[in-house]
Amino acid sequence: MQLLQPYQPHWKEDFRRISMVLADALLPLQLQAEHVGSTAVPGLAAKPIIDIDIVLDNGKDLGEVITKLELAGYYHNGDQGIPGREVFKRSGRQPLHPVLDVVAHHLYVCPPDSAELQRHLAFRDYLIANEEARHRYEDLKQELAAEAGQDRKIYAVLKEIRAAGFIQEILERTGCVS
């Protein structure tokens, strides 16, 4: 099976469906959800996993968000070594949810001043606006997937190492450098 799929227009709808369920789960908090990662870039091939950044109003909301997401079937997995980006994963202990357990996704919670959030948004927006960069990134990703033998774990390691320079170049162009 191919690791990367050509861009799928339904990814935008998948994000909308997940974000609506999450918005309900997080009530009365009014938090913004951002569709980030390759599935958020029309025309870009991607692994079919929706990346979502929930933007906190302020750091004081994190405890309440953790509690509400646990009630919705997630567990908090810490920042996994990236400050300003909290990771949440499905616990697998709840009855299957028709959206959250059907549409593959990664869920992160970030304060609005998170460097990682700003990087996600800047990179996404640049690729949306710049067709040449989008094609270069897709070519790089396809090359890495082929080199990885379509293995997701090997691809992730290769991408971490070999795409870092490209990503940094784009972030420098946007003025969003870490």
Write out the two tokens for 9: 């227009």
In this prediction, residue 176 carries a pLDDT of 87
Question: Beta-carbon neighbour count of residue 163 at 10 Å?
Answer: 14
Q: pLDDT tens digit string along 63-120?
A: 999 999 999 999 999 999 999 999 999 998 888 999 999 999 999 999 999 999 999 9
Cα–Cα distance between 158 and 111 in angstroms, integer? Answer: 29
User: How sure is the predictor about 57, in pLDDT bands with cuts at 50, 70 and 90?
Assistant: confident
Q: DSSP code of 3?
A: S
Quote the pTM value: 0.94
DSSP 100-151: TTTS-EEEEEE-TT-HHHHHHHHHHHHHHH-HHHHHHHHHHHHHHHHHTTT-
Write out the two tokens for 129: 């606006």
% pLDDT > 90, the chain: 91
The answer to whether domain 10-174 has CATH 3.30.460.10 is yes
Domain ranges of the chain: 10-174
Across the chain, mean pLDDT equals 94
Q: Which residues of 58-70 are buried (b: 16+ CB within 10 A; e: fewer)?
A: eeebeeebbebbe
DSSP 27-47: TT---EEEEESGGGSTT--B-
Q: What are phi and psi of 175, to 5 degrees?
A: 85, 5
